[in-house]
């Protein structure tokens, strides 16, 4: 089958279009014909080898962490799906590979596509919406009336997290560039900070939660806006021991992660703040709940650009520029 393949790790490896073996089906797998897949910064980081320590994928490797398509075949253990169903998913961490023609997805990672969304819109949602759900609902337990700062509000996660936080009844602040101020405010943000002109630590105070997707400097500065008992949740690291234990990593790797996160955990603890790293996991059950919010209009997909499947390398390069407003998608329909 046709796929976008990387043969080795490295920033200079642009990947190639080529033939790849069709996926092996397990009893609880659903074979999906890929109609669209979204491109995430995570794909670039995997290609660059940044996660080789915790995600030791073998090359050649097909990237792709979001998929929307049509069910072609189901394994004998599958109960919820049948051929012809329109579905979407974030494939399991160990079995990524949406930049291709077909992908086998475990039943429990899959959900029916919201009926009114296009395949491209649906493909833009799983990874970022599950990330928003698992950080704000599961990890933070965000409640009505609480205050949350969501960094990078115009990014893929930020655009969905703002909408979800508003649905939950929170007061939402976000950071973005001047060209996106009005646009991000229209998503529901109550306070929008132009990070080129304003220091968010001088504007925001006594927040309950910060969702960080940026670098070390922003992460540490975020402690200043949180109140005691606040929560600093990061999806960009550093990884913490709890994550290593949850992933079943060996003892020595748990200690490495303990050291990597020691500085921020110590600073947070001194202020009575809890630091947590969250690495999103696949969940069809949670995606079903998100689908209900999409159907109700509480959350809408934000798609910046759609590239043809043959231009996957161009789509990946565009995502790496950091200029996308929302998500970038590749589509078989664009060929």
137 pLDDT above the threshold of 90: yes
Whether 131 and 248 map to the same domain: the answer is: yes
Whether 197 and 324 map to the same domain: the answer is: no
Nearest residue to 96 (alpha-carbon basis) of 39, 139, 53, 138: 39
pLDDT band, very low/low/confident/very high, at 334 (cuts 50, 70, 90)? low
Whether 218 and 90 map to the same domain: the answer is: no
Within 10 angstroms of residue 306's Cβ, the number of other Cβ atoms is 21
Taking the chain, what is the end-to-end CA distance rounded to the nearest angstrom? 16
Whether 247 and 317 map to the same domain: the answer is: no
pLDDT at 60: 95
Whether 155 and 172 map to the same domain: the answer is: yes
> Which has the minimum average pLDDT: 9-18, 163-172, 264-273?
9-18
Residue 131 φ then ψ, to 5°: -60, -45
Would residue 185 count as lying in a domain? yes
As a whole number of angstroms, the distance between CA 13 and CA 44 comes to 10
Tell me what the pLDDT averaged over the chain comes to.
94
The rounded Cα 310 to chain-centroid distance in angstroms is: 23
Whether 205 and 65 map to the same domain: the answer is: no
Whether 17 and 153 map to the same domain: the answer is: no
| Tokens 């030791």, residue located | 56
User: Which pair of structure tokens corresponds to residue 329?
Assistant: 């998608």
**Which pTM was predicted?**
0.95
pLDDT tens-digit map of 47-73: 999 888 778 899 999 999 999 999 999
Percent of the chain with pLDDT over 90: 85
Q: State the pairing for strand pair 61-62/274-277.
A: unpaired
- Computed on alpha carbons and rounded to an integer, the radius of gyration of the chain in Å comes to 19
**Residues of the domain holding 181:** 127-277
pLDDT tens-digit map of 173-186: 999 998 889 999 99
Whether 263 and 319 map to the same domain: the answer is: no
As a whole number of angstroms, the distance between CA 290 and CA 44 comes to 26
Q: At 119, which CATH number?
A: 3.90.180.10
């Amino acid at each position: 089958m046709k796929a976008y393949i990387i043969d080795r790790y490295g920033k200079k490896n642009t990947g190639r279009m080529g033939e790849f073996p069709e996926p092996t089906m397990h009893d609880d797998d659903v074979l999906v014909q890929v109609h669209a897949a979204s491109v995430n910064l995570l794909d670039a980081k995997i290609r660059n080898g940044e996660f080789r320590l915790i995600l030791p994928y073998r090359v050649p490797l097909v990237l792709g962490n979001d998929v929307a398509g049509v069910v072609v075949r189901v394994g004998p253990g599958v109960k919820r799906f049948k051929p012809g169903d329109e579905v979407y998913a974030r494939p399991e961490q160990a079995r990524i590979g949406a930049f291709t023609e077909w992908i086998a997805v475990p039943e429990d990672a899959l959900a029916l596509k919201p009926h009114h969304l296009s395949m491209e819109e649906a493909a833009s949602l799983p990874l970022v919406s599950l990330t928003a759900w698992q950080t704000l609902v599961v990890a933070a337990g965000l409640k009505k009336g609480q205050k949350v700062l969501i960094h990078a509000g115009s990014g893929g996660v930020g655009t969905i997290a703002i909408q979800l936080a508003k649905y939950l009844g929170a007061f939402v602040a976000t950071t973005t560039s001047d060209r996106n101020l009005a646009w991000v405010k229209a998503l529901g943000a109550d306070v929008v900070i132009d990070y080129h002109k304003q220091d968010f630590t001088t504007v925001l105070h006594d927040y309950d939660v910060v969702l960080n997707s940026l670098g070390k400097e922003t992460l540490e500065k975020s402690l200043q806006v949180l109140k005691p008992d606040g929560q600093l949740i990061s999806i960009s690291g550093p990884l913490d021991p709890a994550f290593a234990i949850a992933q079943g990593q060996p003892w020595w790797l748990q200690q490495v992660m303990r050291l990597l996160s020691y500085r921020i955990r110590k600073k947070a603890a001194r202020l009575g703040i809890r630091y947590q790293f969250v690495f999103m996991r696949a969940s069809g059950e949670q995606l079903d709940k998100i689908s209900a919010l999409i159907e109700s209009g509480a959350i809408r997909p934000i798609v910046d650009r759609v590239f043809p499947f043959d231009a996957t390398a161009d789509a990946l390069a565009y995502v790496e520029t950091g200029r996308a407003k929302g998500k970038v998608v590749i589509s078989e329909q664009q060929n």
